[in-house]
A and B are shown apart, each in its own frame.
Chain A
């Protein structure tokens, strides 16, 4: 051996953190190198935002309270929809890892195995934040205006991060359980599509049938959207802020241990 190898002498928790950071770096490199997915990340929300405001803006605008423009109303809905769909790439990334044998390689190393899940869910925050930023800039370019103050923006950012993290961990469960990437796509289609559309993301609840409205106005995604919308429009936030935080924390409290447990079970035979 030409050179002496030098090993770190960290305590276990510190080493587990280093492992997670390495995995975050890895997953982030994946996001940057996966060009097709990256383009989708940027263009899909822009496309949705432009289509909805131009196609539905006129009709839905009539159902909105006076003085509220659909461009402003829609922003929170599109952001949350983008985050919900964006988090599903966590599932795809984890499923890919499980199928390709790289998880076995990691498991043969003296590292913290859960770092793999941490890496994917946390790097997802970066990508989703980026696509949200792109969308807000697009909105501003076509006339989106907000009265949100600096603290309101902190609130909006907080909700974005918390919601993305919660959905990424839910998505991690799907990624661990699914047998193939096609399976992941099918599952997310069946779960995320109805959940985001049966909410107040695109239209106010008043225009829905009573049963749908009852569901739409009380499901977690609506609380997240309404909280963000209130901050953007400067309207009273009501109980939506608290409910959004409680729902997200609840999802995390369930999905982190479940995803972790399933991951351990699936990767050791």
Chain B
């Protein structure tokens, strides 16, 4: 049985008393792809992952992984998933190797197979030197790598990565991304939760933005970016007089101006024609440009414009 969608979530709801954490989430993850669940703290990301990995009961909707119902066939689900990140942990008093072998055995691997696989993962994750030290002596990055390695011990076809790089330094984060990319090449289906837009942009095939327990946008990184706005040409001039003449010359093309910094931005529909026509218009009016740059909307723009409430909060915090 190989369905196209490995993870299917329909109308998922979950409440704690009057606190409605999930208000009807729909998700579908295609086999061999990565879906990033992007959202601020408290959006419901971890709750969703905990439900998908059978750790938490839900109130309404339906949730299946590899066609198995997470409530009625929890054991079958557990046999095909690996969970790592915020929701899971390694044993601190056991060594890296002992952790791997134990988890492998608990996944029903034979002792011999678990040992061989543990060695392979220790090598792949650059943990060979630390293999026989207790996990509590590991650095943050090493611990995350061990955590991920542990969830891969039986090569489950579905992996949940719950904020795998939160709190890591940039170097460890890049190392983690490299490992995750390799994992994607092996055809594993992955659900990643993150609050980092760059992470979703770098890794995911598809992004679902959730906020306040609801899906507020979904699509590829490019689709989301184009929802927020088109590419823009940012032009900087020498003084306000030059800016004024430029605005006159460009006419309706001007989307926005900044009179303090003498900049004007022009919306670009087609990068091949619109940039040259704008520059031609300026040349005809003898307005000289000091500098220019093409600005593509980032996922940060997407995120902030979609999660308006969050934006308000951050602004408030900055004001304080």
Contacts and interface: CB of A to CB of B under 8 A. Distances in A.
A29 interface: yes
A174 to B, nearest CB: 21
Interface stretch (B92-100, B205-213, B239-247, B275-283): B92-100
Nearest to A109: B106
A221 to B, nearest CB: 31
Contacts of B78: 108-111
B109 A104 contact: no
A8 B108 CA distance: 5
A8 B104 CA distance: 11
Nearest to B47: A269
A101 interface: yes
Nearest to B105: A22
B93 A29 contact: yes
B155 A1 contact: yes
Nearest to A25: B102
A43 interface: no
Contacts of B91: 26, 102
A107 B108 contact: no
A34 to B, nearest CB: 7
A2 B107 contact: no
A176 B88 CA distance: 18
B188 to A, nearest CB: 11
Given A3-B120, A26-B102, A105 B83 contact: yes
B107 A104 contact: no
B112 interface: yes
Contacts of A25: 102
B90 A102 contact: yes
Contacts of B56: 268-269
A22 B142 CA distance: 24
A92 B144 CA distance: 26
B155 A3 contact: no
Nearest to A101: B89
A100 B88 contact: no
A22 B102 contact: yes
A3 B117 contact: yes
Contacts of B186: 1
Nearest to B76: A110
A55 interface: no
B6 interface: no
B154 interface: yes
Contacts of B94: 26, 29
Given A5-B117, A26-B94, A30-B93, A110 B88 contact: no
A7 interface: yes
Contacts of A8: 108-110
A105 B120 contact: no
A101 B109 contact: no
Contacts of B116: 3
A102 B89 contact: yes
Interface residues of A, number: 31
A15 B108 contact: yes
Contacts of B120: 2-3
B75 A110 contact: yes
Contacts of A1: 155, 186
A226 interface: no
Contacts of A106: 106
A34 B120 CA distance: 29
B60 interface: no
B107 A6 contact: no
Contacts of B107: 7, 109-110
B181 interface: no
A34 B93 CA distance: 8
Given A26-B94, A33-B134, A102-B90, A7 B55 contact: no
B88 A111 contact: no
A18 interface: yes
A100 B89 contact: yes
B79 interface: yes
B254 to A, nearest CB: 54
B108 A100 contact: no
Nearest to A103: B89
Interface of B: 50, 53-57, 75, 78-79, 81-83, 87-94, 98, 102-103, 105-110, 112-113, 116-117, 120, 134, 150, 154-155, 186
The 9 A-B pairs at the shortest CB distance, nearest first, are namely A101-B89, A105-B88, A6-B113, A110-B78, A108-B83, A111-B106, A110-B79, A102-B89, A33-B93
26 contacts: A3-B113, A5-B154, A5-B155, A8-B109, A15-B108, A18-B105, A22-B105, A22-B106, A29-B93, A100-B92, A101-B88, A102-B88, A102-B89, A104-B50, A104-B55, A104-B83, A108-B53, A109-B78, A109-B103, A110-B75, A110-B79, A110-B106, A110-B107, A110-B108, A268-B56, A269-B55
Given A2-B120, A101-B89, 20 more contacts: A3-B113, A5-B117, A5-B154, A6-B109, A6-B110, A7-B107, A19-B106, A22-B106, A26-B91, A29-B93, A101-B88, A102-B90, A102-B91, A104-B50, A104-B55, A105-B89, A108-B81, A109-B78, A268-B57, A269-B56
Interface of A: 1-3, 5-8, 10, 15, 18-19, 22, 25-26, 29-30, 33-34, 100-102, 104-111, 268-269
